Amino acid sequence: MSDICLRCGRALKSKESAKRGYGSYCYKKIKAEEKERDEVQKFNEVMEEIKVR
């Protein structure tokens, strides 16, 4: 719980945002970044497997 966004420091107005600790915009951004990281991770794993073979 936070009343300011942990990403940009702006005040959070909605209860939902406060629960997450991020404003809806930053939350979306974070989710997108996470997805990107997962994809990079998967790609690296595949590359690693190819190297081993």
Which residue do the tokens 């404003």 mark? 23
Report if residue 8 touches Zn ion, rule: CB under 5 A.
yes
Single out the residue of 14, 20, 21, 23 in contact with Zn ion (rule: CB under 5 A). 23
Nearer to Zn ion, 25 or 43 (CB): 25
In whole angstroms, the minimum distance from the beta carbon of 32 to Zn ion comes to 14
**Which one-letter DSSP state was computed for residue 12?**
P
Q: Does 12 bind Zn ion (CB under 5 A)?
A: no
- The answer to whether 12 and 25 are in contact (CB under 8 A) is no
Q: How far apart are CA 30 and CA 44, in angstroms?
A: 21
- Contacts to Zn ion by CB under 5 A: 5, 7-8, 23, 26
